Structure 1
Amino acid sequence: MITDGVEMRGLELGDAAALAEAFARNREYMRAYEPIRPEAYYTEAGQRARIEDLLADRDGGRLVPWVLVETAGGAVVGAINLGSIALGPLCSGGVGYWVDTAWHGKGLATAALAEVLRVAREEVGLHRVEAGTLVDNFASQAVLRKSGFEEYGLAPRYLHINGAWRDHRLFQRLLHDDPPAR
């Protein structure tokens, strides 16, 4: 359990229906932070196809995906991914996350991020983890800063979000200065 009432576990193909429900439930809120999604994204079949792609990336060593699940009832209330994993001299990855609006302000994103940073360092062997937020996503920026991330730049027109290219603030957290393990 990462916080009272919520566990964080690896994403599974069986999560498709619960993820579809969670995305549908949070659709209006997430619109400002996400690319425009096709209707199929909000269906069990759409999530099943998406999960298959994520699990293929996991199996290829490029991604570690988790879901945040209520212990009472099993509803998905968020997700967090450690992706864009590059080993060798870079030893870096990127983190992305979302939390159900009913769980905002309860420390869930911060707790999940702490666990991802532990895995990134201890299990994956990363030196650095990065994240980007829309310039006005102050809540996510607060989570990153609370988790030891430092802002290092601004990326103009970085991602196509909600129908337009949007600027993003870039953050990183250095985990250690040991030489690459592999």
Structure 2
Amino acid sequence: MSAGPLVLPCWEPDRPAEFFTAGGQRARLRDQLAQREAGQAMLWVLVETDGGRLVGAISLSRIPLGPLCSASVGYWGDGERAGRGIATAALEAACLAAREEFALHRVEAGTMVDNTASQRVLAKAEFEQYGFAPKYLHANGAWRDHLLFQRILHDEGPRGQGL
């Protein structure tokens, strides 16, 4: 007797069918590149040094000009590579870029309450939980509660950026 198909947890928001097409991905990449050109996002892909296999991605987004000096971070990693420190190292590098290249004061992240793997990554990268957001994101057919995390990068005042 078969146990049935393996169902893995999904931490991603619900997406329209078009998202999963080549055209949908081209549109998504064009939008991300436009945000990057406008200084509102920074995107990285994570590849293995041996063989060049794509193993994840990380992004800083919603980067405002002015006194807020904050960004949201999002990331995903290849489940086969879990537990090797790849996501933590990528998060550390993104925080360094946030401080050095964008002069940001803080970086924030949210995880679904039951996404303990991502919460471990955030803790290893010195993020602290600061809040709870009920019904924050629509995923897996329902609004999902999230835990909110942040990492303060420095206590200096804002530098330039349209103040």
Length-normalised TM-score, structure 1: 0.80
Structure 1 position 98 matched with structure 2 position 99: no
Deviation at 1:178, TM superposition (A): 0.4
Deviation at 1:163, TM superposition (A): 1.5
The whole-number CA distance in structure 2 between the counterparts of 1:93 and 1:35 is 19
The residue type paired with residue 158 of structure 2 is: P
The whole-number CA distance in structure 1 between the counterparts of 2:48 and 2:23 is 22
The whole-number CA distance in structure 2 between the counterparts of 1:169 and 1:84 is 18
User: RMSD value over aligned CA atoms?
Assistant: 1.4
For structure 2, list consecutive stretches of 5 or more residues without a partner in the other structure: 1-6
Structure 1 position 78 matched with structure 2 position 56: yes
The whole-number CA distance in structure 2 between the counterparts of 1:90 and 1:136 is 29
String of CA shifts for 1:77-118, please: whole Å, max 9, x gaps: 111000111231110001000001111111000000010000
What residue number does 2:33 align with?
A: 55
The residue type paired with residue 32 of structure 1 is: C
Structure 1 SS opposite 2:75? strand
Q: Which structure: larger Rg?
A: 2
Check whether the contact 1:87–1:126 (CA below 8 A) recurs between aligned residues. Answer: no
The whole-number CA distance in structure 2 between the counterparts of 1:41 and 1:79 is 17
What residue number does 1:107 align with?
A: 85
What residue number does 1:171 align with?
A: 149
What residue number does 1:180 align with?
A: 158
For structure 1, list consecutive stretches of 5 or more residues without a partner in the other structure: 1-27
What residue number does 1:7 align with?
A: none
The whole-number CA distance in structure 1 between the counterparts of 2:87 and 2:34 is 25
What residue number does 2:13 align with?
A: 35
Percentage identity across paired residues of the two chains: 60
- Structure with higher helix content: 1
Structure 1 segments of 4 or more deviating over 4 A?
A: none
